[in-house]
Amino acid sequence: MDALTDPRLREAPATDTPDLIAPRKRRLRSRVLMAMLSLLVIAGVGATFWFRPAPTTTSGSGRSKMEAIPVLAAPAKKADVPIYLDGLGTVQAFQTVTVKPQVDGKLIEMRFTEGHDVKAGDVLAKIDPTIYQAALDQAVGKLEQDKATLANARVDLVRYQKLALTAYTTAQQADTQKALVAQLEAQTRQDQAQIDNAQAQLGYTTLIAPIDGRTGIRLVDAGNIVHASDATGIVVITTLKPISVVFTLPQQTLPQVARAMQQAATQGTKPTVLATNQNAGPGGGGAPLDRGTLTVLDNQVDPATGTIRLKATFPNPDLTLWPGGFVGVRLHVDTARGAITVPDAAVQRGPRGSYLYVIGDGDTVTRRDVTVGHEDAQYAIITDGLKEGEQVVTDGASRLNDGSKVRVTAPVAGNAAGPTPTAAPGAQRRPRAPQN
């Protein structure tokens, strides 16, 4: 039986009927339309980038090569620059004394006012002197008694010596009387020592100020029983005029400090030290709190911290320095004569060292490598690579390249570039991020 005669095949419906062909054609047309739309989108985006104007920038700064970059500038100046070393110090009283009782007894009187100045010898307090006065009177009475006995013994000695010469008494009796006189003389000296001790004990009942200074808060009130063994005492007196400041510096600065002390000693002076407000930041900021002199350089370096301890003395006439407080300290160690200086902000850092942007003809800048001899929060001393009068960029250097064109603008009020006349150099410089 073949396919033409098979009744099953003749009855089977045809597969390509119109109902099946129509959906296929619709799906095909949809795919073709989507492909054409995709090609149109891609062509539009490509045309946008193809016909966009070419960029005119030559660097990452986003500015045209011919567009002037606004910067702040300052001229290099020649000046005598004082060089300072900066540190942090603790104010200490020039002298501190805790007034303590030296005898036991009842505190009957307080004669000082808390927080007021006293002079050496002023009476501060009194302890009941009754028992100490009685001990003194007793010692005085004993001395008088022994003196009378001694006087009688001396008279007897003279008699025995005369009788011994005429053989009316023995020489031994005269010698015995002589020894008795010596014994009584020693007793009177002992009595005098007892009197001196009793007088001293009686004197200790009056507490006096041992130094000039200012009293602190009263540590005990009248009416209390005080003892010589008390640890707290009556009051603490501190000398505020003058006053001391103890501060530290890195051990690397030791040669500069030692040289400054030697140079000052040859002139009969001491290195100058400035006390500044610690909140003023590097360089002190504004006028110093006080001016003093360096008095002590410690005889060893602290191996734990690698620092040296120093002590300065200040007159403190206005009491701007107070014991226990923290202050900034600036030690003058040298003066650079005729140095070329620029504002510290002008100095940049790079892989090859320090450099500046110098403004030349046509308001274009040149990157120039320089040697920095000393710098602080205000000044940088340039020892090589710059001449007096050349203009350097102090703000905006991060947007510059060698050959960039600049436009010098006026600084904003309160943010002027350049050194501050009232500030002296020497502060620790805050490190910058390296510049390429």
Tell me what percent of the residues of the chain surpass a pLDDT of 90: 53
Do 254 and 400 belong together in one domain?
yes
> What pLDDT was estimated at residue 35?
73
- What is the rounded average pLDDT of the residues 298-307? 93
Mean pLDDT check: name the lowest of 62-66, 82-86, 241-245, 339-343. 62-66
Do 224 and 339 belong together in one domain?
no
Do 362 and 384 belong together in one domain?
yes
Instruction: Write the CATH number for 289.
Output: 2.40.30.170
Mean pLDDT check: name the lowest of 12-16, 105-109, 122-126, 335-339. 12-16
Tell me the helix, strand and coil percentages in the chain, rounded to 5.
30, 35, 35
Instruction: Write the CATH number for 214.
Output: 2.40.50.100
Q: Which residues of 388-424 are buried (b: 16+ CB within 10 A; e: fewer)?
A: eebbbbbbbbebbeeebbbebeeeeeeeebbbeeebb
Do 232 and 329 belong together in one domain?
no
User: Distance between CA 163 and CA 48 in Å, rounded?
Assistant: 150
362 in a structural domain: yes
In sequence order, the 6+-apart residues with CB closer than 8 A to the CB of 78 are: 338, 339, 340, 341, 388
User: Distance between CA 199 and CA 133 in Å, rounded?
Assistant: 8
Do 396 and 335 belong together in one domain?
yes
296 in a structural domain: yes
Do 17 and 80 belong together in one domain?
no
Do 17 and 104 belong together in one domain?
no
- What is the rounded average pLDDT of the residues 73-100? 92
User: Distance between CA 275 and CA 327 in Å, rounded?
Assistant: 6
What pTM was estimated for this model as a whole? Answer: 0.67
30 in a structural domain: yes
64 in a structural domain: no
Do 261 and 390 belong together in one domain?
yes
Tell me what percent of the residues of the chain surpass a pLDDT of 70: 80
162 in a structural domain: no
> What pLDDT was estimated at residue 358?
93
Do 231 and 262 belong together in one domain?
no
Question: What are the tens digits of pLDDT across the range 60-79?
Answer: 444 445 688 899 999 999 98
Read off the pLDDT band of 57 (50, 70, 90): very low
Between 65 and 126, the higher pLDDT residue: 126
Chain-wide mean pLDDT for the chain?
83
167 in a structural domain: no
Question: What are the tens digits of pLDDT across the range 311-332?
Answer: 999 999 999 999 999 999 999 9
> What pLDDT was estimated at residue 284?
55
Angle formed by the axes of helices 130-165 and 171-203, to 10°?
A: 160
- What is the rounded average pLDDT of the residues 193-214? 95
Name which of 329, 328, 321, 330 is nearest 92 in CA terms. Answer: 321
Do 224 and 249 belong together in one domain?
no
Task: Look at residue 158 and give its three-state secondary structure.
Answer: helix
Do 261 and 274 belong together in one domain?
yes
Residue 388 has pLDDT above 70, yes or no: yes
> What pLDDT was estimated at residue 126?
96
CA 278 to chain centre: 7
Looking at the structure of the chain, the number of domains it has is: 3
Residue 42 has pLDDT above 80, yes or no: no
Task: Look at residue 139 and give its three-state secondary structure.
Answer: helix
52 in a structural domain: no
214 in a structural domain: yes
Q: What secondary structure does DSSP assign to 173-241, as a single string?
A: HHHHHHHHHHHHHHHHHHHHHHHHHHHHHHHTTEEE-SSSEEE---SS-TT-EE-TT-SS-SEEEE--S
Do 83 and 121 belong together in one domain?
no
Mean pLDDT check: name the lowest of 113-127, 211-225, 374-388. 374-388
The domain of 31 spans 7-42
